[in-house]
Amino acid sequence: MPAAIEATITDLTHDGKGVTRIDGKAVFVSGALLDERVLLRISKRHRHYDEAEVVELLQRSPHRVEPKCPHFGLCGGCTLQHLDAEVQIGMKQRVLADNFTRIGKVTPASWLPPLTDEPWGYRRKGRLSVRAVPKKGRVLVGFREEANPRLVADIRRCEVVHPVLGERIALLAELIDGMDAVADIPQIEFAAGDDTIALVFRHMNPLSERDQAALVAFGRQHGFAIYLQPGGHSSVHPLWPEHPRLAFTLPAGGGADDVELEFQPLDFVQVNAGMNRRMLARAMDLLDPQPSDRVLDLFCGLGNFTLPMARRVAEVAGVEGEHGLVERATENARRNGIANAHFHVANLFEDQRGAEWARQPWDKLLLDPPRAGADKLLDYLPHKATKRIVYVSCHPASLARDAGILVQRHGFRLTSAGVMDMFPHTAHVESIALFER
């Protein structure tokens, strides 16, 4: 075993690892914080950097806190529980600012105060890995290990998953351990609506009647809707109850003006329900929708922004690449009595300038792209009639790149920007920015 080395942490990486230098070579130290003095041990060597783990803390950071989860350090689901929450969000704001400066060569005229919400039990969507481990004599259900992503972390509960499920991780493991298909279930997807939590069991071979009965009994006892997935996404179907319903409500002015979005368990929805409501409110404040406005919502998904916005504007069009999401967005509009929202299927990573919706002069634009960003559509949008753009981002580097395009090529001003803590205790940076002519 390599000898322990004493070192001082001089920086943090964007994913929250401590940084030091040993013999001139950068070393990234899991579990170490800025300005801490540590004994570390090299765990992996690479050509240009090494990875290390803390053996002993010699001098603690004043911002270090006790992790709430007993599995912290083993489970890779969240890696910043040892860092004070205010410092976490400050670190994310610095990551965003650095990306704007370094990649986009832009700076916001003002910084928005960070958006935060409840930091525990927030995760309503995700995937749990499953693995039968004969050496342990049982089944493991959880997220992947931080140090070795090929392995499933040995956990009994999860503090960031919706508590109805997070408190029952061990029971899920016991359930699968008693099934005939114990070696044939590699993962369980979960999705929580306002009233129902769905569990989707991926299985590599047909389930026996005994196994199906066990899953139904588990669902009945704990209040879960049980789905089976024998193949790809299209194979997902409910086992119990016969017609489960997943839905969540979003504010759109209060009372009868609120909208309800139904969804399927593998659909994309924002992971953090509380933050999603706060994000929606901020997006509406920044976009400032007016009764006469025509708004284009790109990468619209189920209509998370489109349908609440439709209550406030003359017309809104949502564009999304996945047919199933567009079908459900259209149905959600119908069920909510919204007639001024229209949806289109289009691959926004391909040139769509010939599409009717792309040729129209929209007053305002909302973007919520995946990690790749929106640079492809910024070749032909926005039109000169568009005066205001709100950009919601899950990747600061792509936002910074696209901000540079909007400012330098299209003549917009980056009016304001800020981070949103969609994934507390992780290094994930979600952000929002306002651009004006």
Positive or negative, the CA dihedral 370, 372, 373, 379 is negative
Left, alpha or beta for 134 (phi > 0: left; psi -120 to 50: alpha)?
Answer: alpha
- DSSP for 142-166 reads E-BBSS-TTSBP--S--SSB-HHHH
Q: 209-222 vs 169-177: helix axis angle to the nearest 10?
A: 160
What are the catalytic residues? 394
Cα dihedral 120/115/371/415 (nearest 10): 180
Whether the CB-CB separation of 15 and 78 falls below 8 Å is answered with no
Q: Which strands form 25-30's sheet, in the order they lie side by side?
A: 5-8, 37-45, 49-59, 25-30, 18-22, 11-12
Q: Which residues of 313-330 are buried (b: 16+ CB within 10 A; e: fewer)?
A: bebbbbbbbbebbbebbb
Q: Provide the CA 83 distance to its chain's centre, in angstroms.
A: 20
